[in-house]
Amino acid sequence: MPATLVHHYPHHHQQHYHPYNTTSHAHPHSKPPSRSRPRSTTNPPKPIPKSQPPKSSRCFDWLLLPTNSNTHIAKNRSSFSAYRRAPCKIANQRVLGIGTVQLRVQRAPDDPRTNVLVLHDVLHMPGARCNGISVAKYTGECEDEAEVMKEEEEGGSGSSCGGSSGERCV
pLDDT in tens, 116-144: 999 999 999 999 999 999 999 988 876 55
d(CA 101, CA 83): 9
| Mean predicted lDDT score pLDDT of the chain | 71
Give the pLDDT band (50/70/90) at residue 39: low
For the cut 70, the answer to whether the pLDDT of residue 16 exceeds it is no
Residue 112 has pLDDT above 50, yes or no: yes
The answer to whether residues 137 and 71 touch, using CB atoms and an 8 Å cutoff, is yes
Q: Is 0.75 surpassed by the pTM of this model?
A: no
Domain map (residue ranges) of the chain: 66-143
Q: What end-to-end distance do the CA atoms of the chain give, in Å?
A: 51
